[in-house]
Chains A and B, each alone.
Chain A
């Protein structure tokens, strides 16, 4: 069920998407070239291995506080990034490590922030949920569910004001999609035709509450209908369908037609955070998704079977990614904590006037 447009199509099966219905491999999925699949494989694998390592470091007590892993959802952000251009802004909630890596932020800086070290993107003062890169146009990293949606709409307001042709890619989860300010933002974005693509990453659980238990309308692509915002449900486990829908949505926003909603039907393999009771869903459900719909395995299979890439090449990629991740972990482990004087910096900027 790839990229089915709202208009005119029956969404009966999508209304309460069971695992199979939502993630049946798209028969007519757009094809990637060998290079595109190689790129997607590398990028998604980097996120996967990085997050696995973060989980390990958390278990070792090197990462503290909250830590929300993106494992399982990699195809969403990578497919979106493959459709965006340099200068487009990205903003998301607290499950944000994957977005940073996808934006090209240095894994060392991200991992060092997770361990609260001076080489972290926020010099150790933000942590897992609060990282930013002005250079990469990554605007966080937000810990208040839904707040990033108004902020991302504000980024689009700035693009619109400056007429710079950029688009704000504003991510939220299925949980955030029930926050009031999301709809306040939808209204203004549609009213002013702001260049924003709202990416709703529906991983089916807001913490431990399933979509069906939290949402009267479980088809999130329809959440903008009353504002006239077009939306699509997208197989978010297939990086190809993600990129295809993203291309359409971003073009819509960039061409001055206003906001667009993409509901990415995805799945997180790990718990909500590191302390997750895992009582709200069955092990079988998780296993089934991993075995049958893993976004990275799908690409790997295509590379081997469709593009004829030698397995040794993929192993080389695996090794390269592991090295990047291990380097980041080593840096994040050995980098010193922030100087105590950092406690008092970055509270206010010096006024020049």
Chain B
């Protein structure tokens, strides 16, 4: 019987890609292992192989098509002699391509920030609850930032977070010859997550330095180079691997200025993806926001939008202090409007009111914002107007913006993917206890990742992460509704 060939995912976080080329044409006989087509994303390329014998009966997606959602049928393979004229797209038995099937697209990770794109196909069915209570299934458009950080008539371009980060580095490297980037696969591979794409081509191997797999060593070399006055950008393939290097980050980078009585600053940026991606289990899913934010001598940035990613990374590179710049793999591919300015730099340490509201304050950052914003939309439909604050910088923390909001709403909940104990939400809660005690009409509630190592199984992983439903429930709870 006819079988649909589906658009494969190259990685657990891929949502769509380009069908670059068909290597077989309709009517061709194919056997298992034959390469049918080539798929491209901004991260990687892969070949789609046939997994059945038969005839390529129908090509459903023409080559050159961009933005093909994962799981979309791209062709139909029929048994020899079978009539497939009746087999409409999707009529066949769907078979995922590639070995091991395809990972489920990450459900409520789908970017609210992708306002410029249609929601990926085949999403609703995947939107299973992450927590025991079923979350509201919501699709909403991105809220425009409400705090003006650039002139209102600034032209905007749509960029992914990945592109914004790349542009930030490229612009700063053009501006200052002391800036260089080092890390695993940053140069010839073009970045493990393609964040450093084309930097090698523009700046050469001297300033885009591939390192061996040796985090402790190259973090130390980066810090040493910074103490000597260079401005390294050290990329960790993920911050999980920075655990190997954390002594150099904390003991050398963060403390030397103090220990030297102000003589030796350390102008360095440590950046890379932080926190959970999708289905990568406990050792590759840790959120270190709270850890680094505990350390005097560091600045810690965790942006959500592409615009913030760009403006804050540029600020981080110029900052004379060590900056931990926490990115997120799931956000890399999400698109946002970015101001088209020659030199767009944002202040470190300023939160942004992402969505104004009057009834409850939701404080979040980085990917936590995706839950917060969807919850705010759901709450609005139930008559509760949430004010959503994106911290953007975890250290120094912009307590004032949070306190001012809470004075207005009288209620606060926090949202983060990290663990609950001593987390960022715990810190906000403690600060509000001191700075806004008289304004609070309800206890501050924290929505966090669960207090367990990240499990691998899809259902357990969903349960371990925060959910929109949890945020909605918490918001209603503090509103006594």
Residues of A within 8 A of B (CB): 89, 91, 120-126, 130-134, 139-144, 147, 149-159, 161-162, 180-181, 184-185, 187-188, 191, 345-353
B220 near A153 with CB under 8 A, answer yes
Contact A161/B224 with A150-B248, A180-B216, A346-B262 known, Cβ cut-off 8 Å: no
B257: nearest residue on chain A (CB-CB)?
Answer: A346
Contact A150/B220 with A134-B263, A155-B228, A158-B229 known, Cβ cut-off 8 Å: yes
Report the minimum CB–CB distance from A31 to chain B (whole Å).
36
Q: B296 interface residue, CB < 8 Å from A? A: yes
Interface residues of B in 210-234 (CB under 8 A from A): 211-212, 214, 216-230
Q: When each residue 256-271 of chain B gets 1 if its CB lies under 8 Å from chain A and 0 otherwise, what string results?
A: 1111111111000000
Stretch at the interface among B66-74, B302-310, B317-325: B317-325
B261 near A121 with CB under 8 A, answer yes
Contact residue among B221, B262, B315, B321 (Cβ-Cβ distance under 8 Å from A185): B221
A125 to B320, CA, bound (A): 20
A162: nearest residue on chain B (CB-CB)?
Answer: B230
- List 7 additional contacts besides A124-B261, A132-B256, A140-B256; criterion CB under 8 Å: A122-B259, A130-B256, A140-B260, A151-B248, A161-B225, A181-B217, A185-B217
Contact residue among B252, B257, B321, B345 (Cβ-Cβ distance under 8 Å from A151): B252
Contact residue among B224, B262, B296, B348 (Cβ-Cβ distance under 8 Å from A153): B224
B228 near A89 with CB under 8 A, answer yes
A140 to B297, CA, bound (A): 18
A153 near B221 with CB under 8 A, answer yes
B228 near A147 with CB under 8 A, answer no
Contact residue among B206, B262, B315 (Cβ-Cβ distance under 8 Å from A161): B206
Contact residue among B248, B260, B348 (Cβ-Cβ distance under 8 Å from A126): B260
Contact A150/B225 with A130-B260, A345-B262, A347-B258 known, Cβ cut-off 8 Å: no
Instruction: Identify the 4 closest CB pairs spanning chains A and B, nearest first.
Output: A154-B224, A150-B220, A184-B217, A158-B228
- A sample of 15 cross-chain residue pairs with beta-carbon separation below 8 angstroms, ordered by A number, consists of A121-B263, A130-B256, A132-B256, A134-B263, A140-B264, A147-B220, A150-B217, A150-B219, A153-B221, A153-B224, A157-B221, A157-B224, A158-B224, A347-B258, A352-B318
Q: Which residues of A contact B421 (CB under 8 A)?
A: none
B265 near A349 with CB under 8 A, answer yes
Q: B422 interface residue, CB < 8 Å from A? A: no
Contact residue among B217, B252, B315 (Cβ-Cβ distance under 8 Å from A188): B217
A188 near B211 with CB under 8 A, answer yes
Q: B286 interface residue, CB < 8 Å from A? A: no
Q: Which residues of A contact B212 (CB under 8 A)?
A: 184, 187-188, 191
Residue of A131, A140, A154 contacting most chain B CB atoms (<10 Å): A154
Q: Which residues of A contact B256 (CB under 8 A)?
A: 130, 132, 140
Q: Which residues of A contact B263 (CB under 8 A)?
A: 121-122, 132-134
Q: Which residues of B contact A126 (CB under 8 A)?
A: 259-261
Q: B202 interface residue, CB < 8 Å from A? A: no
A147 to B256, CA, bound (A): 12
A154 near B228 with CB under 8 A, answer yes
B226 near A123 with CB under 8 A, answer no
A181 to B222, CA, bound (A): 13
Contact residue among B180, B230, B259, B264 (Cβ-Cβ distance under 8 Å from A134): B264
A120 near B218 with CB under 8 A, answer no
Q: B374 interface residue, CB < 8 Å from A? A: no
A159: nearest residue on chain B (CB-CB)?
Answer: B228
Interface residues of B in 283-334 (CB under 8 A from A): 296-297, 299, 315, 318-321
Report the minimum CB–CB distance from A45 to chain B (whole Å).
28
Q: Which residues of A contact B248 (CB under 8 A)?
A: 147, 150-151, 181
Contact A154/B222 with A132-B263, A185-B217, A347-B296 known, Cβ cut-off 8 Å: yes
Contact residue among A147, A152, A351 (Cβ-Cβ distance under 8 Å from B318): A351
Q: Which residues of A contact B261 (CB under 8 A)?
A: 120-126, 346
A147 near B251 with CB under 8 A, answer yes
Contact A353/B216 with A122-B259, A161-B225, A188-B211 known, Cβ cut-off 8 Å: no
Q: B247 interface residue, CB < 8 Å from A? A: yes
B251 near A144 with CB under 8 A, answer yes
Q: When each residue 441-475 of chain B gets 1 if its CB lies under 8 Å from chain A and 0 otherwise, what string results?
A: 00000000000000000000000000000000000
Q: Which residues of B contact A153 (CB under 8 A)?
A: 217, 220-221, 224
Q: Which residues of A contact B211 (CB under 8 A)?
A: 188
Report the minimum CB–CB distance from B139 to chain A (whole Å).
38
Contact residue among A155, A162, A345 (Cβ-Cβ distance under 8 Å from B227): A155
Interface residues of B in 160-193 (CB under 8 A from A): 180
B320: nearest residue on chain A (CB-CB)?
Answer: A349
A181 near B220 with CB under 8 A, answer yes
A123 to B229, CA, bound (A): 22
A347 near B230 with CB under 8 A, answer no
Contact A161/B321 with A151-B224, A185-B221 known, Cβ cut-off 8 Å: no
B315 near A353 with CB under 8 A, answer yes
Report the minimum CB–CB distance from A188 to chain B (whole Å).
6
Q: Which residues of B contact A132 (CB under 8 A)?
A: 256, 259-260, 263-264
A184 near B252 with CB under 8 A, answer no
Report the minimum CB–CB distance from B395 to chain A (whole Å).
10
Residue of A140, A143, A184 contacting most chain B CB atoms (<10 Å): A184
A130 to B217, CA, bound (A): 21
Report the minimum CB–CB distance from A8 to chain B (whole Å).
30
Contact residue among B206, B222, B260, B345 (Cβ-Cβ distance under 8 Å from A353): B345
A348 near B299 with CB under 8 A, answer yes
Q: Which residues of B contact A181 (CB under 8 A)?
A: 216-217, 220, 248
Report the minimum CB–CB distance from B350 to chain A (whole Å).
13
A191 to B211, CA, bound (A): 10
B227: nearest residue on chain A (CB-CB)?
Answer: A139
B343: nearest residue on chain A (CB-CB)?
Answer: A353
A134 to B264, CA, bound (A): 7
Q: Which residues of A contact B247 (CB under 8 A)?
A: 144, 147
A126: nearest residue on chain B (CB-CB)?
Answer: B259
Report the minimum CB–CB distance from A168 to chain B (whole Å).
8
Q: Which residues of A contact B296 (CB under 8 A)?
A: 347
Contact residue among A141, A147, A180, A349 (Cβ-Cβ distance under 8 Å from B257): A349
A348 to B298, CA, bound (A): 8
Report the minimum CB–CB distance from A226 to chain B (whole Å).
14
Contact residue among B219, B252, B345, B348 (Cβ-Cβ distance under 8 Å from A142): B252
A351 near B320 with CB under 8 A, answer yes
Contact A184/B216 with A150-B224, A157-B221 known, Cβ cut-off 8 Å: yes
Residue of B214, B224, B345 contacting most chain A CB atoms (<10 Å): B224
Report the minimum CB–CB distance from B242 to chain A (whole Å).
14
Q: Which residues of A contact B221 (CB under 8 A)?
A: 150-151, 153-154, 157, 185, 188
